[in-house]
A and B are shown apart, each in its own frame.
Chain A
Amino acid sequence: MILEAENVTKNFGGLVAVNKINLAVEEGMIHCIIGPNGAGKTTLFNILTGELPATSGQVFFKGKKITGLPPHQIARLRIGRSFQQAQLFRNLTVLENVRLAAQAHHRGHFNILRHFRYFAHPIEEAISVLGELHIMDLATQKAGELSHGQQRILEVAMALADNPVLLLLDEPTSGMSPNESVKMIGLLRKLGQRITLLIIEHNMNLVMSVSSVITVLHQGVIIASGAPDEIARDSQVRSAYLGRSTR
């Protein structure tokens, strides 16, 4: 198991957003988390990446406890993440966005006497990520001027820049056109071959076609977990999504 959550609970005042969740992400898998709005998916992500402290429970990465570590330390374990609402450096160019992400993992970024352009590794890495995601032509544009779909891809590019072993993506296709979604699905398939992916998604087309494991979250609780075809047949999942039958 590359990532494990044990009895993770998060209360916001009286609201239990995430309730005693046990999640195990196996290395090399594309693991999707689905669930209706308000099921606690993003809250769970925020706990896994240190953005939010858990009320109780533990999180392990490769068997080591990472509960309570701040986000930057979790990032340094090579866990990348993207956000549902694009979190970009909007006034900086696409290449600089990715370069900053790549630079975080190199010694020497505390150096104040060297011009940053002579710090070559982060630049090379950023360029290779842009190449891999086929957005090299956007390199000189400001992140804030990109289309919504392009911003989603840049989010992934920044998460990829530090060469992660585990990538957490929060709704990578949200707000994308069908055409862009298809591209994103292809990209995720490709990434899944070398990186473990944990994805929150609403797009069923994506979920059913790329995942190896699906976990269904409903009102803060896991109601099902398994291979896509098992999930598709699960009656509890159907009722969570389609509403309970009245008969």
Chain B
Amino acid sequence: MIDTALGKKKPLVDWEIIILAGSFLVLQFILPFKMLVTEIMIFALGAVAFNILLGFTGLLSFGQAALFGPGAYASGLLLIHFGWHPLITLLLSCLTGAFLAAIIGLMSIRKEGVYFVMLTMAFNGLVYFIIYQMKEITGGEDGLLNVPRPDLSLVPGIKLSIQSTFQFFWFVWIIFILSMIAIKRIIDSPLGHILVAVRENPTRTRTIGYNINHYKLLSFVMSGFFTGLAGGLYAMFLKMVPITVVEMWTSGDFIIIALVGGVGSLYGPVIGAVLVKILSEVLAELWARWLFILGLTFIVFVMFMRGGLWGMIMGIKDKMLFKKSNLEGQP
């Protein structure tokens, strides 16, 4: 009874994660675009981090690029000027994202609905202009060029190169899977369930004794942490940091990816990233106006498939299980 009402107890690494990890390996080997899967994982991580806010806490943030971009700049700058260990620069990207999320969160969570959305948007604009103006450090419009990918040295004496496309794929794959395990654990934790309570009914959450502003802020910080990480990986992936990473468009990308994939689950945005990125890649080669089709896809999903791709897949699964159990029930 408890299992049906609350869901089963789950280990840190379960089948879902193994299937996820395996699928990306398969994708890497079957897709003709060898760089694409790495990019998909980076955007999937960003979209999943965004979904901690939208899907689990019910906060529609239009300012994710203000976390993603600075994450990219943090790693980019540290790698260019100091050539630090990639894992350390990535950690600092995470902290940059979390820190900015804490500031933006503190200023915006007290507002609700449209006002909240507008505030996050305004902060995105603010961060964009700061980076745009600080030309000496950020390169302004030109962004950062020639971001190196230093070798990984995990134990003294042994160095792993992450130069080639394939080596870098493994590097991102491991970080992506570890991040997904961590996010999944957060979602399944007592704290993760409070986030869902805040989404479902803030009034009730308050009256049973939770300070909802604390939880909204925590949700922001956790989202910022992983969004910053995605940003740092993106800087290494491109070997440069274009100013577009902090533009409002990029915030929109994460929203589109999450909504197409489905915000109701942890894995929806991952599927969204796979679809949107492959579609963009294929369409961009076929037709110069490919954004039109992408926009149309987005509208169709928002209007007719509120659960996104993941909701659709689960719906089909439920129907098949239902049929099966019906057949079994017959004499």
Contact = CB atoms under 8 A, between A and B. Distances in A.
B158 interface: no
Contacts of A176: none
What is the size category of the interface that chain A forms with chain B?
A: 35 or more
Contacts of B193: 96, 100, 103, 116
B201 A116 contact: no
A117 interface: yes
A23 B278 CA distance: 66
Given A72-B209, A75-B206, A115 B6 contact: no
Interface string A89-114: 11111111001110111001111111
B2 interface: yes
A111 B191 contact: yes
A75 B212 CA distance: 13
Nearest to B202: A87
A112 B191 contact: yes
B209 to A, nearest CB: 4
B15 to A, nearest CB: 15
Contact of B185 (A51, A81, A113): A113
B6 A96 contact: yes
A157 to B, nearest CB: 11
Given A103-B190, A109-B190, A111-B189, A72 B212 contact: yes
A100 B10 contact: no
Contacts of A122: 190
Contacts of A103: 190, 193-194
B142 interface: no
B9 A71 contact: no
Interface string A132-163: 00000001100000000000000000100110
B6 A95 contact: yes
A49 interface: yes
A114 B194 CA distance: 14
B306 to A, nearest CB: 13
A128 to B, nearest CB: 13
Contacts, number: 116
Contact of B201 (A75, A88, A123, A161): A88
B190 A119 contact: yes
Contacts of B210: 72, 104
B189 A95 contact: no
A107 B9 CA distance: 20
A118 interface: yes
A186 interface: no
B204 interface: yes
A115 B197 contact: no
Interface residues of B, number: 33
Nearest to A139: B5
B38 to A, nearest CB: 28
A89 B204 contact: yes
Interface string B296-331: 000000000000000000000000000000000000
Given A90-B201, A117-B7, A139-B1, A49 B207 contact: yes
A238 interface: no
Given A72-B211, A89-B197, A116 B189 contact: yes
A49 B207 CA distance: 8
B164 interface: no
B185 A116 contact: no
A105 B194 CA distance: 13
B190 A75 contact: no
Contacts of B208: 75, 100-101, 104, 158, 161-162
B6 A100 contact: no
Contacts of B1: 139-140
A114 to B, nearest CB: 6
A175 interface: no
A104 B10 contact: no
B207 A115 contact: no
B244 to A, nearest CB: 32
Contact of A99 (B4, B6, B209): B6
A118 B9 contact: yes
A116 B188 contact: yes
Given A92-B196, A92-B200, A76 B189 contact: no
B153 interface: no
B186 interface: yes
B275 to A, nearest CB: 25
Contact of A95 (B5, B8, B192): B5
Given A88-B201, A105-B209, A139-B1, A113 B189 contact: yes
Nearest to A90: B200
Given A51-B206, A103-B190, A119-B190, 7 more contacts: A71-B206, A87-B203, A89-B197, A113-B185, A116-B189, A116-B193, A123-B6
16 contacts: A72-B207, A76-B209, A83-B204, A89-B204, A95-B5, A96-B5, A99-B6, A100-B197, A104-B208, A108-B190, A111-B190, A115-B189, A116-B188, A117-B7, A119-B190, A140-B1
Interface of A: 49, 51, 70-73, 75-76, 81, 83, 87-96, 99-101, 103-105, 108-119, 122-123, 127, 139-140, 158, 161-162
Interface of B: 1-2, 4-10, 185-186, 188-194, 196-197, 200-201, 203-212, 222
